[in-house]
């Protein structure tokens, strides 16, 4: 649910990074924060535990620029990936305009990826949306590790609709902006359909 | 699917006036209006030293978490939250199920005064937001508005955002 303000000429949209625990959602946001000009970003807020596991959410407001005289702002959120934070995850999906599913490419995390994707589908449905109708990109993260699953098989498993997907190594930034750019574009195209 | 929030100049003025009134009558330091999804809608008072974007997002998170607790307990919603600090206090209330009104105040005011003024302002704000929803539904059903930023948006415009 985006917020279009004709008075201040702003468009605000919400993008949520979803995925299993330790897949690199927060790392995505940290890299985006690090590489964005100071005037384009707000504070990166992390509600995390002492061991830096996300407890509630991370939040990063980004001001990308103008479209037809309207300031375009994206609010990026991550969910806490650990299974037992299910209740919090649901809350963060409220009013979402676009989702990035961050998958952990390590073979031993495939089950966690599938579980998280199922969880996403259910939680989205509970908000009254349909995952298949939302702007959505998939990121296969941690491609720099040695024990990774082939992209083809991950795609079959986690991206049956064949939505745009990206290989990434979040700490070095590889694939991070490509993913963000793609989902943001989908969100704006979706808005265009309605207004 | 819940609809997008669209704000027009006329309603924004009305909201702004109401917030200014509340700010003065409640003797507040700052007054904010935030969308339930964490977008800042309007504010009154001295916001210079405050990161309003973060505040809006965290307030919405707070309301969402409290709403989650409410449902676990069989309540529909807790409509008022109050946090007391050493110097500043924050009064958060949910208005018309849709927006969050935040009042920050110190010892120059009191919880009782804030509650009273918030209640009054809420009634006006609910009315404005109802009008706003009707108006945006109307404009949406009538087709694209003339100055819609999306009317002629091109792929190039979108690409330019990411240069």
Q: What value of ipTM does the predicted structure carry?
A: 0.79
Residues of chain A with C-beta less than 8 angstroms from the C-beta of B152: 68
pLDDT at B161: 81
Please give the structure tokens belonging to residue A43.
């504070």
Per-residue DSSP letter, A93:
T
* Global confidence as pTM: 0.89
Tell me which residue in B67, B145, B149 faces A68 most closely, judged by beta carbons.
Answer: B149
Q: What is the pLDDT of residues B56-69, one digit of tens each?
A: 999 999 998 998 89
Q: What is the mean pLDDT of residues B13-37?
A: 95
Query: Domain count of chain A?
Result: 1
Q: What is the pLDDT of residues B112-127, one digit of tens each?
A: 999 999 999 999 999 9
Q: Are A18 and A116 in contact (CB under 8 A)?
A: yes
Q: What percent of chain B is predicted at pLDDT more than 90?
A: 62
Tell me the C-alpha distance between A65 and A71, whole Å: 6
Assign 3-class secondary structure to A61-73.
Answer: EEEEEEECCEEEE
Q: DSSP labels for A22-87?
A: TSSHHHHHHHHHHHS-GGGB---EEEE-TTS-EEEEEEEEEEEEEETTEEEEEEEEE---SGGGHH
What CATH number has the domain bearing residue A81?
A: 3.40.50.300
Q: What is the largest CA-CA distance in chain A?
A: 52
**B9-141: CATH topology:** Beta-Lactamase (3.30.450)
Query: Choosing among B15, B55, B149, B155, which should be mutated to test the A contact, i.e. which has the most A CBs within 10 A?
Result: B149
Distance from CA of A132 to the nearest CA of B (A): 13
Rounded mean pLDDT for each run of 10 residues along chain A, 195 residues in total: 86 96 96 94 90 90 89 95 89 94 98 97 92 95 97 94 96 96 93 80
Is the C-alpha dihedral spanning A64, A129, B101, A89 positive or negative?
negative
More confident residue, A31 or B4: A31
pLDDT at B145: 55
Cross-chain residue pair A72–B54, CB shorter than 8 Å? no
Strands A3-5, B5-7: pairing is: parallel
Q: What is the pLDDT of residues B88-108, one digit of tens each?
A: 999 999 998 889 999 999 999
pLDDT at B1: 41
* B49 band by pLDDT with thresholds 50, 70 and 90: confident
Half-sphere exposure in the Cβ direction for B51 (13 Å, CA): 13
Tell me which residue in A72, A75, A128 faces B38 most closely, judged by beta carbons.
Answer: A75
Least Cα distance to B136 among A11, A194, A71 occurs for A194
The residues spanned by each domain of chain B are 9-141
Residues of chain A with C-beta less than 8 angstroms from the C-beta of B68: 87-88, 90-91
- Measure the N-to-C terminal CA separation of chain A; round to a whole number of Å: 13
pLDDT at B141: 78
* B150 band by pLDDT with thresholds 50, 70 and 90: confident
Least Cα distance to B3 among A188, A76, A95, A190 occurs for A95
CB pairs under 8 A between A and B: 132
* B156 band by pLDDT with thresholds 50, 70 and 90: confident
pLDDT at B38: 87
Q: What is the largest CA-CA distance in chain B?
A: 54
Structural domain that includes position A162: 3-194
Please give the structure tokens belonging to residue B112.
């009782």
Cross-chain residue pair A43–B54, CB shorter than 8 Å? yes
């Amino acid at each position: 649910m985006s917020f279009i303000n004709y008075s201040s000429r702003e468009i605000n949209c919400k993008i949520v990074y979803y995925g299993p625990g330790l897949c690199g959602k927060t790392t995505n946001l940290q890299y985006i924060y690090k590489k964005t000009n100071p005037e384009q970003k707000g504070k990166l807020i992390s509600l995390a535990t002492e061991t830096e596991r996300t407890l509630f959410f991370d939040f990063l407001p980004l001001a990308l620029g103008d479209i037809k005289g309207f300031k375009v702002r994206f609010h990026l959120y991550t969910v806490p990936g650990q299974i037992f934070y299910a209740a919090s995850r649901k809350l963060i999906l409220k009013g979402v305009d676009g989702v990035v599913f961050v998958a952990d490419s390590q073979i031993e995390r495939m089950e966690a990826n599938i579980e998280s994707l199922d969880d996403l589908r259910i939680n989205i449905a509970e908000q009254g949306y349909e995952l298949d109708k939302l702007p959505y990109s998939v990121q296969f993260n941690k491609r720099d590790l040695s024990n990774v699953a082939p992209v083809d098989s991950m795609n079959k498993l986690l991206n049956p609709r064949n939505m745009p997907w990206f290989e990434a190594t979040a700490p070095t930034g590889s694939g991070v902006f490509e993913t963000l750019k793609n989902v943001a574009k989908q969100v704006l195209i979706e808005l265009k359909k309605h207004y | 699917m819940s609809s997008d929030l669209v704000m027009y100049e006329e309603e924004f003025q009305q909201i702004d006036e109401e917030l200014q009134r509340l700010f003065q009558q409640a003797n507040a330091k700052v007054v904010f209006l935030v969308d339930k999804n964490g977008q800042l809608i309007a504010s009154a008072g001295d916001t210079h030293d405050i990161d309003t974007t973060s505040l809006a997002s965290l307030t919405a998170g707070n309301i969402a978490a409290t709403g989650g607790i409410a449902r676990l307990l069989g309540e529909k919603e807790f409509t008022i939250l109050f946090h007391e600090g050493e110097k500043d206090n924050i009064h958060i209330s949910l208005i018309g199920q849709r927006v969050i009104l935040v009042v920050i105040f110190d010892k120059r005011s009191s919880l009782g005064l804030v509650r009273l003024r918030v209640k009054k302002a809420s009634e006006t704000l609910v009315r404005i937001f109802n009008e706003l929803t009707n108006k945006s539904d109307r404009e949406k059903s009538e087709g694209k508005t003339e100055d819609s930023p999306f009317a002629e948006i091109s792929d190039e415009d979108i690409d330019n955002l990411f240069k």
